[in-house]
Structure 1
Amino acid sequence: MAILVTGATGTVGRHVVDGLLRARQQVRALTRDPATAALPSEVEVHQGEIGRIDTVHTALAGVDRMYLFPVLDGLDEFIDVAVQAGVRRIVVLSSDSSVNVVLPTNREAGEHHLAVERAVEASGVEWTHLRPGAFAGNAIDWAPSIQAERVVRAPYAAGAQSVIHSADIADVATIALLEDGHAGAKYRLTGPEAITRAEQVRVIAKVLGTDIRFEEITAAQWRDSVRAYMPEVAMDMLLGYWAHAVDNPDPVYPTVTEVTGRPARTFADWAADNVASFR
């Protein structure tokens, strides 16, 4: 039987694909544009979208397990078709916002991910929810200014985040897909330490072997710098989270170690893995 990976070209999905291939599994990927997917040749790539049910039947044929990227549009019908096709286990990429409702600015994201979780739970299959916090990969947003000026301009330098490497999320996902004992689990996933945004920049500088200046700007200045490509609701969510993390560092959970049997990757590990993006 095959395992279907939705969102297979995403930052977590690619690692899930790699992990399943290392485990010698038959991997099928659902993506909008197979021509640009750049997935390993062993992967059976299907063009399709969760929200377009007419495009997914072939991809689901002969699938018994699935990694689910959290798309809500058309999800109920997609899950119905998946179950009819024989899917019996779904691992959901959710978010810590589904349970961390301290911040009003996180409410919309939390409701979205909770709705995805509930749709899967109602299907009657085995399910596991992965609830990561902030991704280490969000630091990629700093790459253009680091490349051009060796500077990062951002608000809330002292916000301490327990950022997680996407490969760790994928490792937990792969284990939950392949091994028994994870049905009904709601895994809160973090990196191994809470590290401030300013310290993240220092880590990147060390990996690059160069100086990088962190220039703290106001929330309003940051809004102006990203307004051309970022929705207002996303700005509100990020700013609320970063501001909260100044006096309330992110919690650190041992889940990655408990599930995988090894320490979670550090931010320095992530920076080393992605150093080419900052050169």
Structure 2
Amino acid sequence: MPTTLVTGSRGRVGSALVRLLHGAGHDVRAASRSPEQLTPPAGVPAVACDLSDPATFAAALDGTDSVFLYAEPAGIDAFLSHAEAAGVTHVVLLSSSAVLAPDAADNPIAAPHLAVEQALAASPVTATFLRPGAFAGNAHQWAHPIRTQGAVDLPYPGSHTSPIDETDVAEAALAVLADPGLRGSAHHLTGPETLTAAEQIEILAKATGRPVTAHAVSRTAWLESVSPFMPAPLAGALLDYWADSDGVPALVTGETERLTGRPARTFTAWAEANAAAFRP
């Protein structure tokens, strides 16, 4: 039976995909730069694969037919050379809808994903691109202030996204890995609804049963608050993205439902399932 290598198996999408592939009877190999920290289902091997370290590629890819790949451009050319030598015929890339923007090549969020897409497009290995927008799990960035202060600082409370549950992304990946007819396609994945940041905070408040306040703050104040742990170019790109989407409903594509065969999970459902992370 063909084997699928799932890179980034410590991530929310990768770990969910490993479970889905195993549950569907597929031969799957869970990969991470720290395989000792993985907890895959019984019978699923954990292997070392650091996407920035080509020395880890050959052993991880040996005997595999397909790959679920995170977008790390540092070692992509070497990875694809090893994949071709190993006999890999299909790569499913976890890309980003940011690559669809006109300034993608110069955008710190989009550029790494675009670079990997371009490398795959130039490779003889068939590639399928999954391009999700904002993840529902991005809300975890608010968990600490909600737990400790019952309030969140938002530079653009009215900025819209259509957050997608990472499990839906994993199910979409399962669909394109399992259906040969979907190979070589590209899919802009979204959640089922457009929500402002403030509306997401309201939903989290209801899910936790605690009042949570959204405080509007200036760009400068927000930049100062994230500067210890977020590079300035990335923070600036996020602010510009939120500014552009302030008061503008986000696109809802329906592509998630078309791939998975069922409606995409709502942010409310995600919040209820993850409410414990936001309670003291």
Q: TM-score range by the shorter chain?
A: over 0.9
Counterpart in the other structure of 2:242? 242
Q: Distance in 2 between matches of 1:213 and 1:172?
A: 34
- Cα deviations by residue, 1:152-205 (Å, 9 ceiling, x for unpaired): 112111111111111111111111111121122110011111101111011011
Matched residue of 1:268: which SS?
A: helix
CA contact (8 A) 1:51 1:78 kept: no
Larger mean CA deviation between 198-207 and 31-40 belongs to 31-40
Larger mean CA deviation between 51-60 and 206-215 belongs to 51-60
Matched residue of 2:10: which SS?
A: coil
1:87-102 to structure 2, matched below 5 A, reads 87-101=88-102
- Cα deviations by residue, 1:47-88 (Å, 9 ceiling, x for unpaired): 231222222222211100110000111111111111111110
Structure 1 position 103, deviation (Å): 8.1
Counterpart in the other structure of 2:61? 60
CA contact (8 A) 2:22 2:41 kept: no
Matched residue type, 1:227 = S
Counterpart in the other structure of 2:10? 9
Counterpart in the other structure of 1:180? 180
Matched residue type, 1:67 = F
Matched residue type, 1:53 = P
CA contact (8 A) 1:46 1:59 kept: yes
Check 1:186–1:103 CA distance in 2 against 1; reply closer, same or farther (3 A cut).
closer
Structure 1 position 102, deviation (Å): 6.1
Matched residue type, 1:96 = S
Counterpart in the other structure of 1:78? 79
CA contact (8 A) 2:19 2:40 kept: no
Check 1:183–1:89 CA distance in 2 against 1; reply closer, same or farther (3 A cut).
same
- The alignment's TM-score, normalised by the length of structure 1, stands at 0.95
Structure 1 gaps, min length 5: none
Structure 2 gaps, min length 5: none
Matched residue type, 1:217 = V
Counterpart in the other structure of 1:129? 129
Percent identity between the two aligned chains: 38
- Cα deviations by residue, 1:221-272 (Å, 9 ceiling, x for unpaired): 1111111000001111111111111132211111011111111111111112
Structure 1 position 37, deviation (Å): 2.1
Counterpart in the other structure of 1:42? 43
CA contact (8 A) 1:101 1:110 kept: no
Q: Distance in 2 between matches of 1:102 and 1:249?
A: 20
Matched residue type, 1:129 = F
Counterpart in the other structure of 1:110? 110
Q: Distance in 1 between matches of 2:3 and 2:183?
A: 19
Counterpart in the other structure of 1:158? 158
Check 1:77–1:102 CA distance in 2 against 1; reply closer, same or farther (3 A cut).
closer
Matched residue of 2:68: which SS?
A: strand
Counterpart in the other structure of 1:170? 170
CA contact (8 A) 2:160 2:249 kept: yes
- The alignment's TM-score, normalised by the length of structure 2, stands at 0.95
CA contact (8 A) 1:103 1:241 kept: no
Counterpart in the other structure of 2:221? 221
Counterpart in the other structure of 1:274? 274
Following TM superposition, the consecutive aligned residue runs of length 4 or more in structure 1 with deviations greater than 4 angstroms are: none
RMSD: 1.5
Confirm whether residue 141 of structure 1 aligns to residue 141 of structure 2. Answer: yes
Counterpart in the other structure of 1:189? 189
Structure 1 position 121, deviation (Å): 2.0
Matched residue of 1:246: which SS?
A: coil
**Equivalent residues, number:** 278
